[in-house]
Amino acid sequence: MIDPFKLTRRGLFLFDPETAHGLSIAALKSGVLPACRVPADPKLRQTVAGLDFANPLGLAAGYDKNAEVPDAMLKLGFGFTEIGTVTPKPQAGNAKPRIFRLEQDEAVINRLGFNNDGHDAAFARLSARSGAGIVGVNIGANKDSEDRVADYVAGIRRFYSVAKYFTANISSPNTPGLRDLQARDSLTALLSAVLAARNDEAQKSGKRLPVFLKIAPDLTREGMDDIAAVALEQDLDGLIVSNTTLSRDGLTDQRQAGEAGGMSGKPLFAKSTAVVAAMRRRLGPAMPIIGVGGVSSAQTALDKIRAGADLVQLYSCMVYEGPGLPAKILRELSLLVAREGVASIRELRDTRLDHWPEV
């Protein structure tokens, strides 16, 4: 059968990637795309960080930066979706062009720089929702902020009533100096302030929302040791592994490989999955990990879970495969899990941890 997206894609790819992204958001908003019916599979169901996920596949941050289409994304079959990164004040981001498709490699390079409408606009949109479904809020700092930690704390406070979880994103390569927050002392200062704000809001509202930390795939072993130590000390709820990479390994399309920014999509899969395993080895079995980077199929989603992830997210491969991708992955994931003869996908976590060498 001809996949209708393959035809649409040819037209969509005539536009530059940022215009195509805007058109896809407009299409989702208008409701022209049919919902994808994915039969609920009890074997894919899991409770992670206190939240009940109908399936382990989520939409990664950066597609729906301004919370325009969270419900439309959930209707595509995703078990959860993450809006943002949002910063307190709106900001324009870097000069265009700033997103590049590397079609041959099914990769993307972006240097957007946290372009977003700011907290107030995203909050207004999330407040207007019915509230069903798991929608996480990914928070960041403004480029010109004089107190980055305060920007993250403001995110927790502003979105506490409308989020199901938070992600503190300290790993975008496109905001100068942001990744320095991953260093041990800065991370301790950031997480203690963020988790103190969460604890305070939890006490006021009577509900404790999980806070995840999103890290880069380009860390040294010492860097990973430090993050694991701080995460365990600070009682973080989980890690999201990983953001885009500065590496250009695995690209065959050299034409655009020289563009500055973070690379994502298929060539990120091996690197980001090795970091999932490396962090699982450091963290032990209890702390949740969400694996992101190059998920393109049920097999790659399962590979992340076998490497130590509880849940997975994707973004870039949907650019190439279209909005039917989550439903396709979920249908095939059900078959793969049934074939393994386990009662729950949870039993497959960590089963190939040793396959991934130390990075």
Ligand X SMILES: Cc1cc2nc3c(=O)[nH]c(=O)nc-3n(C[C@H](O)[C@H](O)[C@H](O)COP(=O)(O)O)c2cc1C
Q: Which of 172, 242, 272, 297 is catalytic?
A: 172
The answer to whether 292 contacts ligand X (rule: CB under 6 A) is yes
Residues 242-271 interacting with ligand X (rule: CB under 6 A): 243-244, 264-265, 268
Q: Which is nearer to ligand X, 48 or 108 (CB)?
A: 108
Which class for 25: exposed (0-12), middle (13-18), buried (19 or more C-beta within 10 A)? middle
Q: x-or-dash pattern for ligand X, window 148-187, by CB under 6 A?
A: ---------------------x--x---------------
Tell how strand 57-59 and strand 80-86 pair up.
Answer: parallel
Residues 102-141 interacting with ligand X (rule: CB under 6 A): 108, 110, 112, 138
Among 99, 139, 149, 227, binds ligand X (CB under 6 A): 99
Helix intervals (H) in the chain: 4-12, 17-30, 70-75, 119-127, 148-159, 184-205, 221-234, 269-283, 298-306, 316-321, 325-340
Radius of gyration of the chain (CA): 19
Both structure tokens of 251? 């690209």
The answer to whether 275 contacts ligand X (rule: CB under 6 A) is no
> Which SS3 state, helix, strand or coil, does residue 58 take?
strand
Q: Which is nearer to ligand X, 21 or 43 (CB)?
A: 21
Using the contact rule CB under 6 A, the part of the chain among 40-48, 150-158, 183-191, 292-300 near ligand X is: 292-300
Q: How far is the CB of 167 from ligand X (least distance, A)?
A: 7
Q: Which is nearer to ligand X, 265 or 326 (CB)?
A: 265
Q: How many residues bind ligand X (CB under 6 A)?
A: 27
Q: Which is nearer to ligand X, 46 or 174 (CB)?
A: 174
Residue 215 to residue 50: CA distance in whole angstroms:
21
Residues 38-97 interacting with ligand X (rule: CB under 6 A): 60-62, 65, 84-85
Q: How far is the CB of 297 from ligand X (least distance, A)?
A: 12
- As a whole number of Å, the end-to-end CA separation of the chain is 41
Using the contact rule CB under 6 A, the part of the chain among 71-79, 183-191, 231-239, 290-298 near ligand X is: 290-298
Q: Which is nearer to ligand X, 37 or 144 (CB)?
A: 144
Q: How far is the CB of 304 from ligand X (least distance, A)?
A: 10
Q: How far is the CB of 286 from ligand X (least distance, A)?
A: 23
> Which SS3 state, helix, strand or coil, does residue 149 take?
helix
* Other C-beta atoms lying within 10 Å of the C-beta of residue 79: 25
Determine the residue with CB nearest ligand X: 62
Among 70, 136, 293, 308, binds ligand X (CB under 6 A): 293
Q: Which is nearer to ligand X, 153 or 329 (CB)?
A: 329
Q: Which is nearer to ligand X, 60 or 219 (CB)?
A: 60
Both structure tokens of 306? 């076998």
242 is catalytic: no
Residue 44 to residue 54: CA distance in whole angstroms:
7
Q: Which residues does 212 contact at the CB level (< 8 Å), separation at least 6?
A: 49, 136, 165, 166, 167, 168, 236, 237, 238, 239, 240, 288, 290
Residues 190-219 interacting with ligand X (rule: CB under 6 A): 214
Tell how strand 165-169 and strand 211-215 pair up.
Answer: parallel
Q: How far is the CB of 243 from ligand X (least distance, A)?
A: 5
Residues 298-357 interacting with ligand X (rule: CB under 6 A): 314-317
Tallying the residues shown for the chain, one arrives at 359
Residue 81 to residue 313: CA distance in whole angstroms:
9
Q: Which residues does 156 contact at the CB level (< 8 Å), separation at least 6?
A: 139, 166, 194, 197, 198, 201, 211
Active-site residue list: 172
Binding site for ligand X (CB under 6 A): 60-62, 65, 84-85, 99, 108, 110, 112, 138, 169, 172, 214, 243-244, 264-265, 268, 292-295, 314-317
